[in-house]
Each structure stands twice: as structure tokens, then as C-alpha cells.
A = this chain, B = another copy of it.
Amino acid sequence: VETISFARGVPAPECLAVQELAQCAKAVLERDGMRVLNYGPAGGYAPLREWLAERHGVEAGRIVLTNGSLQGLALLAGQLLVDRPTRVLVEGPTYDRLLRIVAGLGAEATAIPLTDEGLDLEALEGELRGGSKPAFLYTIPTFQNPSGRTLPLEARLRLLELARRHGVPVVEDDPYRLVRFEGEPLPTLFELAEGTGVVHAASFSKVLAPGLRVGYFILPAVLSRALEEAATRTYLAPSFLAQATVWEFLSRDLFEVNLERIRALLRERRDAMLSALERDVADGASWSRPEGGYFLWLDLPPAVKAAELVPRAEQAGVTLISGTDFYPGGAGGEAAARLAYSFAAPSRIEEGVARLASLLPTRQPAAPAA
């Protein structure tokens, strides 16, 4: 059987605007090749920085483009941990690659639990009062990876209040926000904080094409300089061709139409996964119902351990990621898994969920209707 991947947060091939991007790459090289092809600023291709600066209402010097946002997060974490190399607050569960960056820098990540509505602010407050001061708080407030959960407006304001009171910088990782299928868009932490005390990280990976590796950061001026200097030290400058191609795509007003297409494609996949889970998966399991993004979080039925399920699922032809991957030191998520619905086609998603369900305890027959 051909494996069905619920493992990686990869966009479906149909999401990629291949022909348009091909035209854009050619056009922007023909028009601005001397700049695109030579050395240039470590902070990235100037016209794209300016476009983003205008969109976000900040000065262009506060925008730094990186080779994917992970590259920027790695450099930024290094900067933020220089002065206080002790610990970082993260969500539990959180983005696994950020955990590896923090560990690689010799710092400790403390996981704050999630409720159904994102970060548990009681727990955050307790940690801020009780523990040693963290270098920063890392949060993915919208369509969180891996849980798919979104922090409501009230909680966003309270989070910012707590961070401000305790003097802890917030790193808001926000790659999924524009992939919203339904519900009202929420302001970002960066917007609510009016740019103070919050670094905003985002990317074109989930809303255009990940292989382009175009991430971006909006930072306080002093941090944007530090990030640019760190970029200069490690790679001189990012790859301008991809950034210039993205800018051309934006300039031609292709972005919104394409984003609508991506939303429709992924909504269909999310719906297919939710329906299949509802139909096939045994009592005792539960899952998040994301309003957007790439992932949902599956809490397994009692007595099912992810460590046993994941390899059995792979043998049965469906891959998913154990919840433990998303906790510092693997301490958490033992009875949970992340399911990405972004990649497989809807019919494949149904088949994949059926394969997964066949490995779970049988559903109890419903009581006959009275």
C-alpha cells in the first residue's frame, strides 16, 4: 500500500502556483537582475522588505527576511539567549524544531500547557511568578502547530499584559494565520502590542510555497539590527531570487486569489479529516477542530500510547507524529498525536483515517434508539 502522510505539514502540490511563479521569476530577473544576482543586504531584498513594511505599518528597517522563518528563529533565539542563557517558555505541545534550537543553544524549555483555547494563562502566570525569568516566551497563537488551536482575543490581551508586567519578550510565530477557513480573523499579538515587546515571525511557506524559503520577521529596531548582523556573520545575505519572485507575485496582485485557492483546497482536506474521524474513530478519542492552518491534534483513547501506535500505523500505511515530539524532552503528549491534513487529497485522507482507526479499540455499538 502507498503510504498516506499525516506526518509533515507540507502543502498539497495543487497549492503551488507553479506557472505564475515561473513568470514572476523571469520577469523580476529581467527587470532587476543586477540587484537580485549580486551581493546585497543581509536583511533581504529591499522591495519585499518595503512591501511588508507598508503592509504592517512599520519602517522597512524593522523587517528582516530570512531563508525560511526557522533560520531566523535560530538566529534570533541565539541573540535573545546571549544575555540570559537559562530558559525559554513555550507552549506544551509546541513546534518541535523550535525545541531543538533551544536545546542546541544549551537553554531549557519550560512547557506551559494548552487549554482548548490555546495557551493556559493561569499556568503562564504561575510560571512567570514562580520561576526564574525566561529569555522569551515563544507562542504560536493562531492555528497552533501542532494543536491547531487559536488563542481568543481576550486571552491575547491578557498574555501581553502578563508578558509586559514581567518584562518578558514575546516571540509570536505566525505562519498559518492567513490560512483561515471560517470564523473572524483575530489581530496578532504584534498588532495588539503596537509593536512593543513582541517579535512577529511569519513566512510565505504556508501561504505560497515552502521551497522558496522566504521567512520574515518584524522586530524592534535594536533587535532587527542584531538579527541582520547575525545573518551577515553566518550567510552574508539570503537568496534574493526567491524573495524577488515573491515580491513580483505580490506586485501583480496574485497573492490574494492564490491564497483563496489554498484555503479552499485545505478546508476540503480538513473537512475530510474531521468527517472521517467522526465516522471511524472510537469513543474515548477526541480531537481539535481548527478553523484554519495545517494540523489537528488527536487525543488517543484511554490505554492507547502514541509510542506504540505510530510504528504500527506506519506499517499499516499511514504516518503521523507522536505527541511526545512536541514537548521538551518528550515529557508530555504520550497519548496524543499530530495529524496534518494539508498534503493528502480528501479521498486519501478518508482512507488514511480508516487505516488509523483499524488500529484503535473498536467503537462501542451505539445504544438502540429509544
Contact = CB atoms under 8 A, between A and B. Distances in A.
Nearest to A28: B22
Contacts of A27: 22
A42 to B, nearest CB: 11
A90 to B, nearest CB: 16
Given A37-B209, A37-B211, A239-B212, A234 B70 contact: yes
Interface in A202-255: 209-214, 233-242, 245
User: How many of these chains are in the complex?
Assistant: 2
Interface in A26-42: 26-27, 29-30, 33-40
A304 B335 CA distance: 72
A208 to B, nearest CB: 8
A132 B121 CA distance: 53
Nearest to A73: B234
Contacts of A29: 18, 21-22, 25
A79 to B, nearest CB: 12
A148 interface: no
Contacts of A316: none
B38 A21 contact: no
Nearest to A205: B39
A352 interface: no
Given A25-B29, A29-B22, A239 B213 contact: yes
A29 to B, nearest CB: 4
Contacts of A39: 8, 10, 210-211
A67 interface: yes
A108 to B, nearest CB: 18
Contact of A30 (B11, B18, B236): B18
Nearest to A12: B38
A315 interface: no
Interface stretch (A97-105, A157-165, A174-182, A266-274): A97-105
Contacts of A19: 30, 33
17 contacts: A10-B38, A10-B39, A16-B37, A18-B34, A18-B37, A19-B30, A22-B25, A22-B29, A23-B26, A67-B238, A68-B236, A70-B234, A212-B239, A213-B236, A213-B238, A239-B241, A239-B242
Given A70-B234, A239-B242, 12 more contacts: A8-B39, A18-B37, A25-B26, A25-B245, A26-B26, A38-B210, A74-B233, A74-B234, A212-B240, A212-B241, A213-B240, A239-B239
